[in-house]
Amino acid sequence: MMPARLDRIVRMPSLTNNPSPDDAPWLTARLADLWRWPLPHHRNSPVNRFLNRAVIALIRSRIESVSGLEHILERHGAFIVAANHESRRDAVILPAVLLMARGGLPVHFLADWNFKLIPGVAALYARSGAITVSGKPARPAILEPLRPLLGGDRSPYDAARAALEDGRPVGIFPEGTTNRDTSRLLRGRYGCARLSLECRAPVVPVGITYPGHERSPRKPPDARARLVIASPMSPPACPRGERAGTPIVRRWHADIMHAIADLCRKPWHKQKFSLDPVHPEVSHHDSRHHQGFPGQERPDPPQGPRGAASHLSRGEAMGS
């Protein structure tokens, strides 16, 4: 028989405009109840149970509400969670909320390797099954020599694809970096769309906002997150195992970004780049973006002998 508290999670109310605490009852539960909250998928791992509950206990005061969790709970097997990226704390809040709601069953998020440098967070990183993205330099720079050791032994694209093909869900922030622009979403990277198409994985869009701080490029410590999860989006037809063509990837990417934009109430517009004789889709003033300038969007990939697909297949267009 299903425990009463877990039964409350599984039978979630439908998505509403005014989320109630019942969408995530452990956000308002007494601390004593939270420490006993059932996590059936961590039944044989007391360390994981402790870490999951501890993280929720620490961050729940920074979460205003969560709605639409039924769209995650009803999904089994491979799917992709795609969310906007307002603050670095999103990379802790969203995975922790989904892990708690799913009874300890993780969504494997792509995460910056720098999180491995933070004591405590490194343990969570390892036990959550996070997929390492090692494209950014170390912070602080003196730790840069550790990047080859902590950066993972394969590209994030390949790791995410392997998880989906194994029937496990993946989480991606398609903007690719924390977005300090309060007026719009970043153009984003195509890795999420390509994975969805090639693995036939539905996309569950998520909007993250910080009510009262919409105009703050950097969210203050007391800002509280509102998470809104929408129903899954099925990708257009693409033969399994075949590389999706660039036009269909771009169209599907646009659909995903528009869905996220509706949830977080920030517009998304595909930016136009003037032609460049070397990189046809990159304007001269965006050349620093192409070099991986920290905190900036990546433009369309250069058209080399292997085309745009080679750029995306290395995982360079993945969100992190």
Indicate the SS3 state at residue 131.
strand
Residue-by-residue pLDDT tens, the chain, 320 positions:
333 333 333 333 333 334 344 578 999 999 999 999 999 988 778 888 998 899 999 999 999 999 999 998 866 789 999 999 999 899 999 999 999 999 998 999 998 877 777 776 777 777 778 888 877 776 778 877 777 777 767 788 999 999 999 999 999 999 989 999 999 999 999 999 999 999 999 999 999 999 999 999 999 999 999 999 999 999 998 766 567 788 999 999 999 999 999 999 999 987 643 332 222 232 223 333 333 323 333 434 333 333 333 334 334 345 55
- Rg, Å, the chain Cα set: 19
Asked whether the beta carbons of 194 and 256 are under 8 A apart, the reply is no
238: in domain: yes
Among candidates 135, 136, 125, 195, which has minimal Cα distance to 160?
Answer: 195
Domain of residue 117, CATH code: 3.40.1130.10
Asked whether the beta carbons of 63 and 225 are under 8 A apart, the reply is yes
Question: For residue 76, how far is the Cα from the chain centroid?
Answer: 18
pTM of the model: 0.76
d(CA 264, CA 83): 9
d(CA 260, CA 113): 25
49: in domain: yes
Task: For residue 132, give the H/E element and its range.
Answer: strand 131-133
Domain residue limits at 58: 4-270
212: in domain: yes
d(CA 18, CA 14): 11
Indicate the SS3 state at residue 138.
coil
131: in domain: yes
307: in domain: no
315: in domain: no
Burial class (CB in 10 A: 0-12, 13-18, 19+), 183: exposed
Asked whether the beta carbons of 124 and 145 are under 8 A apart, the reply is no
Strand partners, 170: 80, 108
d(CA 8, CA 25): 8
Among candidates 275, 319, 280, which has minimal Cα distance to 298?
Answer: 319
280: in domain: no
DSSP 114: G
Could you tell me where the DSSP H helices lie in the chain?
4-10, 31-34, 46-59, 70-73, 90-101, 121-127, 147-150, 156-165, 191-199, 246-264, 287-290, 308-313
15: in domain: yes
The beta-strand segments (E) located in 216-294 are: 225-229
When divided into structural domains, the chain yields a total of 1
